[in-house]
C-alpha cells in the first residue's frame, strides 16, 4: 500500500450531487446505492455500465446486503473526460467511491475488466476497507502473448479489433459477438438490452480501456492479494478463456477458490444469474446480513 497514492487520489474526492461523486481529476462518477447491511461494491465489465448488475444488486439488496454499483468513467451516466482509462486511474476512481461513501468491510465484485481494477486497487490502496473479493469472468492475470506467457493471445488480434472493427464498425462487431456472450435460450429482449448498453459507451473509453486490458500484467500483484478471493468463470467463456484467465488467476492468489460454471459464457451474470446470486450472497457473508423489513 502506498500512502502517497491514497493522498493524491482522494484529497479532493467528494459528493457532487445525489448519486454522483467528483474524483480528484474532476471526473463525475454516477453510482447507485441500494439496501442496507454489509456493503458489496460492483465493478463493471468493459463497455458496460452499472446497469449490467441490475439482476445481482436488486436480488442481493432484498436479501439484506447494501449493494453499490457505479459507472466507470466514459460509461453510462458518468462523465467522459477523454483520459484516465488506465488501471491506475480507474483504481483511484474506485478508491474515491469507497472513501466518499466511507465504506468498510467491503466485498468487491468485478466482471471481466473490472476484476483488474479490483486487483490494482488492492495494490495501490491495500485491503483496509476490503473484506473479500469476487472475480467473475476475469481477464486477469495477463491476456497478451509474451515469451513468459506463451499461452496468451497474439497482440495483433487485439490491434485488428481496435483498428478494423472498433474504429470502423463497432455496431457490427457487437452483432457478431453477442451470440457467444450469452446462450441460445437468452431472450432477444435481453440481448437487445446488452446491445444498447454497449453501444452507449464512449468510443474513447472503449479503445483506451481495451488497450489497458491488453497491456495489463497482474501476475505479481495477484500473488500479494491478502483477502479471501472467489473466482467464478464459465467453461464456455469465449472472451476470457478459462485456462488463460480464471485458472491462471486462481493459481496465483493465495487461498483462492475457483468455481467453474458448466455451459456458461462470458455473460453468465445474465445467463446464470440464479447461481451467481446465490454464490455471491453466501460469499458476502450471510451472518453479516440484516433483516429486511
- Furthest-apart CA atoms within the chain: distance in Å: 56
Q: Given 75, 233, 266, 272, which residue is catalytic?
A: 266
Q: Is 13 helix (H, G, I), strand (E, B) or coil?
A: coil
H or E segment and range at residue 230: strand 229-234
Catalytic, 237? Answer yes
Distance separating alpha carbons of residues 61 and 30, to the nearest angstrom: 19
62: how many CB neighbours lie within 10 A of its CB? 12
Catalytic, 25? Answer no
Catalytic, 266? Answer yes
What cell was used for 104?
468498510
Distance separating alpha carbons of residues 83 and 74, to the nearest angstrom: 9
Contact between 118 and 218 under an 8 Å Cβ cutoff? The reply is no
Q: Is 209 helix (H, G, I), strand (E, B) or coil?
A: helix
- Give the torsion sign (CA, 195, 201, 202, 206): negative
Q: Given 237, 239, 249, 279, which residue is catalytic?
A: 237
20 DSSP β-pair partners: 17, 30
- Size of the chain in residues: 293
Q: Which runs of consecutive H residues, i.e. helices, occur in the chain?
A: 3-10, 54-61, 87-100, 113-125, 155-160, 167-181, 188-199, 203-215, 219-222, 248-252, 268-271, 273-285
Q: Given 50, 78, 112, 239, which residue is catalytic?
A: 112
106 DSSP β-pair partners: 130
| Active-site residue list | 112, 237, 266
Amino acid at each position: 500500500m502506498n500512502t502517497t497514492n491514497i493522498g493524491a487520489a482522494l484529497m479532493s474526492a467528494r459528493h457532487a450531487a445525489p448519486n454522483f461523486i467528483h474524483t480528484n481529476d474532476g471526473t463525475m462518477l454516477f453510482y447507485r446505492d441500494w439496501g442496507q447491511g454489509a456493503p458489496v461494491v460492483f465493478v463493471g465489465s468493459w463497455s458496460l455500465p452499472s446497469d449490467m448488475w441490475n439482476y445481482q444488486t436488486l436480488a442481493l439488496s432484498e436479501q439484506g446486503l447494501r449493494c453499490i454499483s457505479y459507472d466507470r468513467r466514459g460509461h453510462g451516466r458518468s462523465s467522459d473526460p477523454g483520459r484516465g482509462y488506465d488501471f491506475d486511474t480507474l483504481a483511484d476512481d474506485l478508491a474515491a467511491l469507497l472513501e466518499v461513501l466511507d465504506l468498510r468491510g467491503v466485498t468487491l465484485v468485478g466482471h471481466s475488466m473490472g476484476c483488474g481494477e479490483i486487483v490494482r486497487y488492492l495494490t495501490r490502496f491495500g485491503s483496509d476497507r476490503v473484506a473479500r473479493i469476487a472475480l467473475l469472468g476475469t481477464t486477469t492475470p495477463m491476456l497478451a502473448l509474451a515469451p513468459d506467457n506463451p499461452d496468451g493471445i497474439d497482440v495483433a488480434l487485439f490491434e485488428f479489433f481496435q483498428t478494423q472493427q472498433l474504429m470502423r464498425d463497432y455496431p457490427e462487431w457487437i452483432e457478431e459477438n453477442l451470440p457467444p456472450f450469452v446462450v441460445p435460450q437468452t431472450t432477444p429482449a435481453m440481448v437487445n438490452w446488452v446491445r444498447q448498453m454497449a453501444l452507449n459507451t464512449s468510443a474513447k473509453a472503449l479503445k483506451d480501456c481495451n488497450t489497458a486490458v491488453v497491456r495489463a500484467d497482474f501476475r505479481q500483484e495477484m500473488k500479494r492479494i491478502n483477502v479471501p478471493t472467489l473466482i467464478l468463470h464459465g467453461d464456455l467463456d469465449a472472451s476470457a478463456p478459462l485456462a488463460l484467465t480464471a485458472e491462471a488467476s486462481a493459481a496465483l492468489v493465495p487461498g483462492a477458490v475457483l468455481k467453474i460454471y458448466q455451459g456458461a459464457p462470458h455473460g453468465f451474470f445474465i445467463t446464470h444469474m440464479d447461481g451467481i446470486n446465490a454464490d455471491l450472497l453466501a460469499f458476502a457473508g450471510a451472518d453479516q446480513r440484516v433483516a429486511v423489513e
